[in-house]
Structure 1
């Protein structure tokens, strides 16, 4: 299957409103895969970029737990930029999509829920190699 940036989508995380503060819960039916790895980015300088890669098989769900940042998405043909800035909305990035994270606000925290553990061979870290990979699977 050849994924495109149209396959990337926002998913609302259920929010329980309470006068003492909101609570959001991620359970098995929140999105379409089992979580096998959780990590988060924080203290990222505003002029820094993170990501800059694609995955062959791995899927990721990104949430701005605090602050905001932009996610630049590329599928080898098209590109779009989305802003994450709400802790109860996440971005589901399918495999085969290039992503770059930039424009981090002060105090921002990016939570990542991944469909697999870290495997270096699943990463495509060079954009030209990514375009070649996309052309091979089309």
Structure 2
């Protein structure tokens, strides 16, 4: 596992035989939170950028179960990292208060998102300048 600005690549155990592969991901075991919400993104064109927000409380694990995409994360202090998700047995852990952009989707991309919180629109920060101001205020 590699770490950078709070984001962490995860590798999940692969089980399988000549019938195919099976990957199991369990909350509080394979990922560092209980799973409250699951959603997935598919059908995004290569030039589309998804995300473009930070979350006050929610933590995420993103797994590209088919195809590939890139995830750029920023911590609001000038640090950023780009992760390539292209193997269905790897994912990226994103703690709260990281700005995230998902992009460069392959035509067959299915990005599975596991979240620590139920959906709450009030915990989303969708304006980057507002995000930077909050980071500067909360984490001088």
Please indicate the TM-score interval, normalised by the length of the shorter structure.
Answer: over 0.9
TM-score (ref. length: structure 2):
0.93
| Map of 2:21 onto structure 1 | 22
More strand by share: 2
In structure 1, stretches of 5+ residues that fail to align are none
The number of residues matched between the two structures is: 135
Structure 1 stretches of 4+ moved >2 Å = none
Query: Is the partner of 1:17 in helix, strand or coil?
Result: strand
| Superposition map of 1:30-109 within 5 A | 30-76=30-76, 77-109=78-110
- Once superposed, what is the RMSD of the aligned Cα atoms? 1.2
In structure 2, stretches of 5+ residues that fail to align are none
| Map of 1:13 onto structure 2 | 12
Query: Is the partner of 1:22 in helix, strand or coil?
Result: strand
1:107-138 residue CA offsets vs partner (Å, 9 max, x unmatched): 10000000011001110000000001111111
How far residue 5 of structure 1 moved from its aligned partner, in angstroms, is: 4.6
TM-score (ref. length: structure 1):
0.94
